[in-house]
């Protein structure tokens, strides 16, 4: 298991160790949710007493955890991302241990928010997206792909199309992707490559539970990576 002793879980002494895989699987089964037996992508396990969420499954990748670490570090904490405590792989499944964010999903609260509250949250999200787009690649090594290791894109709309997932590398990476997709764009309109969450939908946005809600966290970085700015 890869752990981060400097993370708040260990620094605060919440427990001597992160919950074992047997504990995590058992807690999921005890919920009675039939999806708990799904090896590919079972429900995440939440342990409020430890302030921990465990996301796991065959479809979960360590790259997602590494991306969250990168975004937290590169943004110096200005982008609200769950803290990573550790990860482990077992029989093809990856287990990511991260901080539990108190609050509600934007999907659950949106209908009850006032127009002013909705506007304020949208402005916050706009700010965070702008911050994400300040993250930079090495200008000598441009590519379109996931965040680490120049792996193929994980966007769900192209992941089953080998010719579209890349990675696309070099100064003409955007053109390579557009050619693969059959997209024609004038050369003077070529988009820059930026870092993109790529799944910033309301169920993946946590907001605070108080009467003046704010964005508490951006969750689910599984599809994030380096994409053309219009993606």
Q: What angle do CA 195, 198, 211 make, to 5 degrees?
A: 105
More confident residue, 121 or 178: 121
Q: Using 50, 70 and 90 to split pLDDT, how confident is the model at 188?
A: low
Asked which of 15-29, 81-95, 166-180 is least confident by mean pLDDT, the reply is 166-180
List the structure tokens of 174.
Answer: 């955007």
Q: Using 50, 70 and 90 to split pLDDT, how confident is the model at 136?
A: confident
Q: Using 50, 70 and 90 to split pLDDT, how confident is the model at 61?
A: very high
Q: What is the pLDDT of residue 154?
A: 83
Q: What is the pLDDT of residue 133?
A: 93
Q: What angle do CA 59, 62, 67 make, to 5 degrees?
A: 115
Tell me what the pLDDT averaged over the chain comes to: 93
Q: What is the pLDDT of residues 82-119, one digit of tens each?
A: 999 999 999 999 999 999 999 999 999 999 999 999 99
CB neighbourhood size of 19 (10 A): 18
pTM: 0.91
Residue 187, pLDDT above cutoff 80:
no
User: With the C-alpha atoms ordered 105, 107, 111, 116, is the resulting torsion angle positive or negative?
Assistant: positive
Question: What domains sit in the chain, N to C, each tagged with a CATH number?
Answer: 2-99 (3.30.200), 104-228 (no CATH)
More confident residue, 185 or 29: 29
Strand partners, 227: 194
Q: What is the pLDDT of residues 141-155, one digit of tens each?
A: 888 888 777 888 888
């Amino acid at each position: 298991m890869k752990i981060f002793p400097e993370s708040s879980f260990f620094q605060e002494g919440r427990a001597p160790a992160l919950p074992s895989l047997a504990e995590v699987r058992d807690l999921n089964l005890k919920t009675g949710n039939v999806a708990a037996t799904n090896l590919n992508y079972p429900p995440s396990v939440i342990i409020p007493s430890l302030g921990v969420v465990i996301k796991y499954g065959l479809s979960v990748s360590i790259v997602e955890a590494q991306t969250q670490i990168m975004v937290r570090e590169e943004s110096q904490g200005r982008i609200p991302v769950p803290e990573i405590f550790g990860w482990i792989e077992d029989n093809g499944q990856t287990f990511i241990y991260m901080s539990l964010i108190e609050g509600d999903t934007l999907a659950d609260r949106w209908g009850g928010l006032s127009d002013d509250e909705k506007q304020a949250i949208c402005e916050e999200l706009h700010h965070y997206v702008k911050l994400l787009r300040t993250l930079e690649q090495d200008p000598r090594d441009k590519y379109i792909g996931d965040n680490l290791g120049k792996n193929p894109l994980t966007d769900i709309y192209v992941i089953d199309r080998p010719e579209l997932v890349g990675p696309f590398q070099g100064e003409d990476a955007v053109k390579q992707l557009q050619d693969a997709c059959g997209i024609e764009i004038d050369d003077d309109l070529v988009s820059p490559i930026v870092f993109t969450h790529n799944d910033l939908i309301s169920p993946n946005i946590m907001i605070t539970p108080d009467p003046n809600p704010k964005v508490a966290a951006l969750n689910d970085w599984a599809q994030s990576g380096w994409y053309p700015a219009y993606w």
